[in-house]
Every structure is written in C-alpha cells, then in structure tokens.
Structure 1
Amino acid sequence: MTTPAKCLLVLYTGGTIGMQMGAQGLMPATGFEARLRVQQAAAEQRLPSWYFRELLPPIDSASMSQRNWLEMAASIREEVDAGRCDGVLVLHGTDTLAYSAAALSFLLLGLPVPVVLTGSMLPAGTPDSDAWANLFGAMLALAQGIEPGVKVYFHEKLMHGARLTKLSAARLDAFAEQPRPRSGQRAQAIDPKLDYRQPRLPVNLAVLPLFPGIQAAQLQALFDSGIRGLVLECYGSGTGPSDDAELLATLAAAHQRGVVLTAISQCPQGHVEFGIYAAGSQLASTGLVSGGGMTREAALGKLFALLGAGLGQAEVEHWFALDLCGERAD
C-alpha cells in the first residue's frame, strides 16, 4: 500500500552531498539543513513538510560501521514510533550507501513507513553536482507515495535497498540493481525477534572471496579472530576448491563451533545452486547456506541483522534461506 508522505524526517549522516573543502580535501560538514532550506526556496520546490535531524559527527561513508547502522535505525524508529513523520529520507555518502541500504532493509523489517536513501557523487553547490536533483527527486518520490520498506533514489531511479551495488566511482548513475537471478521461498511471517522495534548488537562478521591458491591456514586465521558469521564469495554457481580436504575440514569445524557460513556468487549475475557441480555439493556439505542471488551487501546486512538479534545458528540459517523483504525473490 502506497500513501503519499506528508511529513518527512531528513536524517543527515554526512557523505559527499554535504562535504566542504578543507585543508586536506573534501571533508564531512555540519550545517546542511540551512543550505537545504536556502536551495529549496531558490528552486521554488513544492515539497512535503520536512524536518531535519543529523547524526553527529557527520562522517565520510568510507568510515561507516555497524554502530552507525544501529544509530540510524534507532533514530528512524524513534521518530516513526513517536508519530512525527510518515516517510524518511537518509542522506548518506556513496561509498557504502548500498551496504547501509541493505542493512537497514533487514533492521527495519515491519516499519510502517518508507525509507529512502540518497546522496551524490559531487558535493552540493559544486558545478554540475547531482546533489539537489537526487535529494529533491527522492523527496518528491516519497510525496507521490512509496510502499513501506527501504529504497535508494539515485540519478532518477528508485531502486530496492537490498538489491543494488555501486558500479562506478565517477559516473553520476553510479548505482544499479544487480540483474541476479533471485530465488527463495518468501517468509510467510517474520519472527517477532526480527521486528524493527527489537534491539540489535554489533556482530563480528567477515566477507571472503575464494581465489586460486587460497589456503586453509588463511581461513583458519579468520575463524581464530572470533567471527560469528562468514559470507563466502564462491565461484560461479557456488563452487570452490573441493579437492582441498584441509580447507573443507576448516569450514566444517567452524560450523560445528557455531559459526554461520553463507555463500554467494562472485559473478555480478551469479546465483548459488550447490547441486549443479560436485564441487558445489562438497562445499555445501561443510554447512554453507546458499544466499541464492543475493549481493554481497545484502548477504552481509542480512547476516548482521539476524545474528545481531541474538538468534542461534540454526535460527539464523533458517531465516537466511528465506526471502524476508524481496532480497531473494521477485
């Protein structure tokens, strides 16, 4: 159900959109609310009512962390549950925007209002900047009505928050939904532990791509660091060095100790289906759970939200395999 938003929370986290030049180059800056109001008046934009909240200090999104995700989710939850807004616009840097959009997609399951993230490739006020077009475009999209859930608005496109990746470091149309095959049974209902009102905690996680020559000792060092979950980027449809008994044993032993092992494809249009090749079947036997066609950003964000909710290994594996918000299925 789409309802036009009449009052928006604009949540500013920093990023290129509000950066200003410092002694060492572009740096995150405060004071963006005043700049936004001046620009709205100058452009005579007819926008829904909005109010501003910023997370301090503003950061370059290259410094984004799980704690920042939790702070964003908490701020959104506070404002929505207080009835102060019926739509949320998050201003965010582009380097990790896709990661934050994916994480928020799972942290805000059940939120009754839409959340849209946007940012810009060039700072507001610089020649040919995309900042105001992206920002006002996102606000207008919310005013026209968007279904609850997390979206990203960028370069005139409204995209699913748990399906996109940043593809360019220079082009203004830097983001795109990855055309990956999606599969997975849609969850009929969401576990109350995963509701947006439930608190989450940071989790020690890792992402590791397989590569020719990877050694079991390297994988073991990662497990020895205390990670509770791993996103393993496999080849093709979910294959790996299945003739390396030590590497397979290392994965299996970690799973036995309670580490959640998930698998996605390294291919931009890839999809994990372990049973196609024997090499995939052998990897699956160690305890890996298929992420289907999920992106790295979606798999990491989902794993964080599930483990951060305090779910046990079996529960995490159950919910990871299901489609929770459209990340796995059309």
Structure 2
Amino acid sequence: AYSASALSFTLEDLNKPVIFTGSQIPLGQIRSDALDNIIGSLIIAGFYTVPEVAIYFHNELYRGNRCQKVDANGFHAFSSPNYPPLAKVGIDININHKLVRNFSQKPLRIQKITPPKIAVMHLFPGFDSSLISALATQSIDGIILRTYGVGNAPVNDKKLLLALEDAHNRGLVIVNCTQCYQGSVDMGGYETGSALESVGVISGTDMTTEAALAKLFYLFSTNLNQQQIEQQIGLNIRGELSPIL
C-alpha cells in the first residue's frame, strides 16, 4: 500500500495500468495464491483500460492509494475502506469504469521525490504533548496526526494545542488522519476538531495514512511552501481522497 500510494503520485499523467500484486503463500507451494494473482493482474493490464496505479489481490483490483494491508495471514490481504474496487474477477471480469480515472492524453512525467522528514504520531490516552514539542525543534517538515473518530483529540490538554500551534508556526505541515479503518475526518463536526483546525492542523479527509504520507513526500518534492502544501492536501490529485461536497 505504501509503494502503490507513492507511485501513484510519482507517475504524472499516467495512461497505462501499473499493477502491484503478490501472494500470501509462496509460489512454490501447492496452495499458493500467487498464480491467480499474477494471471489476473496480467489479463487486466493487457486487455483493459485502467490507467491507474493499482493493487490486485484475491480477485479484486483496488486503487493503490486507497488501499491498506488488512490481513497478515488471509488471502484477502488488502482492502479499500473508502473506495469500491475498480474491478472484480470471477467467471467474468467486471471493470467499474465509472470509478476508474480518466485516460491522460499528455505524455507520462515522473516526479523525482526528495524525501522530506515526516513523523506519524498515533494519539492515545495519556499521550505526552512534549513529544510534539521535541519533534518541532528538530529539522522535520511535517506530522501526520492519527486522531480519534472524525478527527478528534484531547483538547482539554492545553499543552497539546500549544505544542501543535508552535509546530505549525515553525513551518511544519500537520495533517489530521483518523485512526478508524473507515470514514473521514470532519474537523467541524465536534469542538475538539475545530480546536485542532484553529492551531493550523489540516484535515486529511478520508485518506489512508499511507496515502497521506506519499502525498506529503510528493508535495514537498515540488518545492511548494507551507501554505501551498496545506492547500493541496485537501485537493483530490490522484484519486486519493473523496472530494468534500
């Protein structure tokens, strides 16, 4: 999911399928799922118009930057919590063309990535806000803050808000992503989310953590400033998030 998310941003104006696949059981073993995954990927890549970076696993094709690994041992290893599969394979191969991104008439461009320093911080009861303060004094560029529910945090902890505000004032881009498997950040839904927004935290809407990280890598590599990156975070660039209506 990290690799597919990263490649979806790196490959600009993509007009061919790029499909990641693999197996849960190695190819050399009798019960391996590798052959089905490889054949399914090759058929879709060779005979169907799906100009996307995708993941094919267990008879389903997913948009790569919408995917997460959800099972370490089962055949249904990947899932796309906030976006339906692009295709399902059974006796027939059914491509949901309404979900597939438009074919680009422009030549392919590859964006070189210069990795920024990004921290992913998972909130939990008893979280020490001094961790954010310590990070902010280092030469990092951004933080993905994994919050509760629709983007909430314990804002009664004034030290947390002050630490986030100080980090933002130092030039860090702070993106709010939910810890929930499914759903979206809505920072206007509760007072706690609004408090985060007031100190400079940006909504990651329904992006996965993998997609948010890849997007930050991409945006920082295009030499945008803090304000420009924050504006781009909420825009749907590669199908990585659902537009806010």
Q: What is the TM-score when the length of structure 1 is the normalising length?
A: 0.64
1:275 to 169, 173, 188: 188
Deviation at 1:296, TM superposition (A): 0.9
Q: Does 1:206 align with 2:109?
A: no
Contact 2:168–2:200 (8 Å) recurs in 1 = yes
**Which residue identity is paired with 1:255?**
H
1:248 to 161, 164, 178: 161
Find the counterpart in structure 2 of residue 312 from structure 1.
225
Find the counterpart in structure 1 of residue 91 from structure 2.
none
Q: Which protein shows a greater Rg?
A: 1
Q: What is the TM-score when the length of structure 2 is the normalising length?
A: 0.85
Find the counterpart in structure 2 of residue 136 from structure 1.
39
Name the one with the larger helix percent: 1
The alignment's C-alpha RMSD in Å is: 1.7
Contact 1:180–1:293 (8 Å) recurs in 2 = no
- Secondary structure (helix, strand or coil) at the match of 2:65 reads coil
Q: Matches of 1:265 and 1:202 in 2, distance apart?
A: 23
Specify whether residues 145 and 128 from structure 1 end up closer, same or farther in structure 2 by C-alpha distance, changes over 3 A only: same
Find the counterpart in structure 1 of residue 87 from structure 2.
none
Contact 2:11–2:111 (8 Å) recurs in 1 = no
**Which residue identity is paired with 2:27?**
A
- Fraction of identical pairs, as percent: 41
Q: Matches of 1:102 and 1:197 in 2, distance apart?
A: 14
Q: Does 1:289 align with 2:202?
A: yes
**Which residue identity is paired with 1:112?**
N
Q: Which ranges of structure 1 fall in alignment gaps of 5 or more residues?
A: 1-97, 182-194
Q: Matches of 2:82 and 2:242 in 1, distance apart?
A: 12
Find the counterpart in structure 1 of residue 212 from structure 2.
299
Deviation at 1:180, TM superposition (A): 6.9
Deviation at 1:244, TM superposition (A): 1.3
Specify whether residues 247 and 196 from structure 1 end up closer, same or farther in structure 2 by C-alpha distance, changes over 3 A only: farther
Contact 2:82–2:206 (8 Å) recurs in 1 = no
Specify whether residues 224 and 126 from structure 1 end up closer, same or farther in structure 2 by C-alpha distance, changes over 3 A only: farther
Q: Which ranges of structure 2 fall in alignment gaps of 5 or more residues?
A: 85-107
Structure 2 counterparts to residues 65-80 of structure 1, below 5 A: none
Structure 2 counterparts to residues 196-235 of structure 1, below 5 A: 196-235=109-148
Find the counterpart in structure 1 of residue 173 from structure 2.
260
